[in-house]
C-alpha cells in the first residue's frame, strides 16, 4: 500500500490557511494512508484560551474535518491528522482518523506535554486500533498516538497488542530524542511507525520561541528507517509498504516479540 | 560513584582462564560497581549439554563466584557478572550481584534468546532491585537484567518502577540494535544503564559462527551516552556518575516520567 506523511509548518491560528496548504500539497499525490502533524489546523504555541478557541473546531462538523473528508473520499484513502478540538467547554489535543464511508474516529492525546496541560483537557479516549480497507488494501489495522505518547513505552505497546500494524503518530517534536526512539518502538513491537512531525518556529505572545525538529520518519517492523525527512522542508513522502510484515512477530526461529512476553514478571 | 564495565571475550568453556582474565584486568582499578558480560565464566555458543555442564557452576559455591567475592571484598565494591549456572539438574543463564558482607543475589534471565532455549531453564526469579552501600555511596538501587531482556520494554520499566537507579545489563549481543535502544531505555525510565557486552567470535562444533558486537555502553538518565566502547577491544571503563540523578523523574516542569503514566489506558 502507499503510505506516508505530509511534513509542514502549520500557520498559527489560521485553520483556513492550513487547509489550503494541505489541499495544495496532496492534490496530485496518490496514497492509501497519509499522516499529518499534531495540531495541523492550529499551530502549537498558545498563549491564551482565546487563541485556542480561535483555532479549534468541533468534530466532525468543523471545516478542517470537512476538508480532510473530501481528501479521503476523493482519493479513497485514510487520513490521520492532529487537530485542536473543541468539545463543549473543553479543548483537546486530538487526532482524527477519516476513512471513506465511516464516521470520524477521534483519539485525544493521553500524555500531554509541557504547557499543553494548561490548554487541553485530559484524554477520555483509549489507545485504539481501527481497520482500513480500500481497493488496494484489506483490513489494515491502524493505531493512533500523538507526539509525547512516544516516551511512554506502554503507548506503542498497547497499540501493538491491540493489533496495530501501522502506528500513525502526528507530532510537534521539540526534543531531539523521538526520531531515534521510534526505531526502538517499531522494533520492539514489530510494527510500522509513521511519525509526521512539523517544522519551523512558533513564537508566542511573550516572545518565547519553540523550534520543531522535522525529520518525520517511517520505520518498518524490523527497525529499519525507510525514510527520515529533512529538518526544515515541507515534504510529502509516500512509500510502498506491505502492512502484512507487521503481522509476523517472530524475531527469529526461537523468539517471538509477543508470545515471549512474560507478563507474570512485569510491573509488580 | 565510580561505575563501569569490563568488556572482553570470554574463553569458551574455560572458567579458570576467564577468572584469570578478570582478575588481571581489574587488579589495579578503583571502582564501586563493575559489570561483566553475560556468561562471563563460560562463553556463549554451546553445542551440547556436556559443554554447558563443563562450564557451569553452582551459586555461591563455585570458583567463579568465589573469585568475584574476593574482588568485591578487596575493593569494597559491587560486582555483577553473567554466569552459566548449575542448579540441581538444571542450567540457568544468570547474573550474580556480589556485595561485601551480603549473600550473593541471583537473577535468572527471563527472556532467553535463540538457542539458549535449548540449554537453559525458564527463569524462576523476578526482575529485582537491590541496595548497595559502601564508603562512597549510600543505598544505591541496582537493577538486574540480561542481554535480550532489552527488547521487551517491560524489563527495564519493571526495574525502574521497582526503584532501580542503575540497570546493570550483562550482554552477549549479536544483533546491532540494542546499543541504540538502551538510550531509549535510559531516557524513558530516567535511569543509568550499564550494558557490558562481550567481543569476538564463538565457533560451535558444527563450525557455525556467532560474532558479538562489543560497544558496551553507559547511558545517563537523560539519554546521553556517557561512553560507548569499541567493537573489538578488551576494555575496562570506569566513570564517575551520580546515581541521585536517577531519582529525579521529571522530564520538565510539567512532566514526570512516572507520575504521568496513565495505567488505566495501558494493555487493555
Q: Per the residue annotation, which of A77, A147, A168, A178 is the catalytic one?
A: A147
The contact set of A with B (CB < 8 A) is 110-111, 113-115, 117, 123, 126-127, 148, 151-154, 157-158, 161, 177, 180-181, 183-184, 187-188, 223, 251-255, 257, 260-263, 265-268
How is chain A split into domains, by residue range? 2-265
Q: A2-265, what's its fold?
A: Nitrilase/N-carbamoyl-D-aminoacid amidohydrolase (3.60.110)
Task: Tell me the whole-structure pTM to 2 decimals.
Answer: 0.97
Are the beta carbons of A152 and B260 closer than 8 angstroms?
Answer: yes
Is the pLDDT at B268 greater than 90? The verdict is: no
Residue of A nearest to B150 (CA): A188
Are the beta carbons of B171 and B147 closer than 8 angstroms?
Answer: yes
Q: In what helix (H) or strand (E) does residue A67 lie, and over which residues does it extend?
A: helix A63-75
Determine whether A38 is an active site residue.
yes
Q: What is the pLDDT of residues B74-123, one digit of tens each?
A: 999 999 999 999 999 999 999 999 999 999 999 999 999 999 999 999 99
Is the pLDDT at B186 greater than 90? The verdict is: yes
A161 to B265: CB separation less than 8 angstroms, yes or no: no
Interface A–B counts its CB contacts (< 8 A) at 115
Provide the sign of the torsion angle of the four alpha carbons B190, A218, A230, B175, taken in this order: positive
Residue A135 CB: number of other CB atoms within 10 A? 7
Percent of chain A with pLDDT over 90: 99
Is the pLDDT at B18 greater than 80? The verdict is: yes
pLDDT band at B260 (very low <50, low <70, confident <90, very high): very high
Rounded to an integer, the average pLDDT of A212-240 is 98
Is the pLDDT at B53 greater than 90? The verdict is: yes
Q: Which residues of B113-137 are buried (b: 16+ CB within 10 A; e: fewer)?
A: bebbeebbbebebbbbbbebebeeb
Give the pLDDT score at B29. Answer: 98
Determine whether B262 is an active site residue.
no
**Please, which residues have CB within 8 angstroms of residue A125's CB and are 6 or more apart in sequence?**
A106, A107, A108, A110
Q: What is the pLDDT of residues A103-151, one digit of tens each?
A: 999 999 999 999 999 999 999 999 999 999 999 999 999 999 999 999 9
Rounded to an integer, the average pLDDT of B240-245 is 98
Q: What is the pLDDT of residues A66-98, one digit of tens each?
A: 999 999 999 999 999 999 999 999 999 999 999
pLDDT band at A176 (very low <50, low <70, confident <90, very high): confident
Is the pLDDT at A268 greater than 80? The verdict is: no
The per-residue pLDDT of chain B, averaged, comes to 97
All three cell numbers of A31, joined, read 496514497
B255 to A177: CB separation less than 8 angstroms, yes or no: no
Q: Per the residue annotation, which of B21, B38, B85, B141 is the catalytic one?
A: B38
Give the pLDDT score at B176. Answer: 85
Give the pLDDT score at B116. Answer: 98
Amino acid at each position: 500500500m502507499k503510505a506516508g506523511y505530509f511534513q509542514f509548518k502549520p500557520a498559527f491560528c489560521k485553520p483556513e490557511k492550513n487547509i489550503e496548504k494541505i489541499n495544495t500539497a496532496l492534490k496530485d499525490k496518490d496514497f492509501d494512508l497519509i499522516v499529518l502533524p499534531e495540531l495541523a489546523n492550529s499551530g502549537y504555541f498558545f498563549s491564551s484560551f482565546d487563541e485556542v478557541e480561535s483555532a479549534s473546531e468541533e468534530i466532525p462538523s468543523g471545516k478542517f474535518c470537512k476538508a480532510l473528508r473530501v481528501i479521503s473520499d476523493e482519493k479513497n484513502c485514510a487520513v490521520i491528522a492532529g487537530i485542536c478540538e473543541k468539545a463543549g467547554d473543553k479543548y483537546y489535543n486530538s487526532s482524527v482518523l477519516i476513512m471513506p464511508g465511516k464516521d470520524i474516529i477521534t483519539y485525544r492525546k493521553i500524555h500531554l506535554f509541557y504547557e499543553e496541560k494548561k490548554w487541553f483537557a485530559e484524554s477520555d479516549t483509549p489507545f485504539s486500533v481501527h481497520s482500513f480497507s480500500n481497493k488496494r488494501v484489506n483490513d489494515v489495522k491502524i493505531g493512533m498516538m500523538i507526539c509525547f505518547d512516544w516516551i511512554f513505552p506502554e503507548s506503542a505497546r498497547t497499540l501493538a497488542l491491540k493489533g496495530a500494524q501501522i502506528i500513525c503518530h502526528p507530532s510537534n517534536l521539540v526534543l531531539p530524542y523521538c526520531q531515534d526512539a521510534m526505531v526502538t518502538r517499531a522494533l520492539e513491537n514489530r510494527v510500522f511507525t509513521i511519525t509526521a512531525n512539523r517544522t519551523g518556529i512558533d513564537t508566542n505572545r511573550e516572545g518565547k520561541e519553540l523550534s520543531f525538529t522535522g525529520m518525520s520518519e517511517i520505520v518498518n517492523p524490523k527497525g529499519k528507517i525507510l525514510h527520515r525527512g529533512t529538518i526544515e522542508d515541507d515534504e510529502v513522502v509516500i512509500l510502498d509498504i506491505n502492512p502484512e510484515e507487521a503481522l509476523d512477530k517472530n524475531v527469529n526461529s526461537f523468539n517471538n516479540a509477543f508470545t515471549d512476553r512474560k507478563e507474570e514478571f512485569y510491573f509488580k
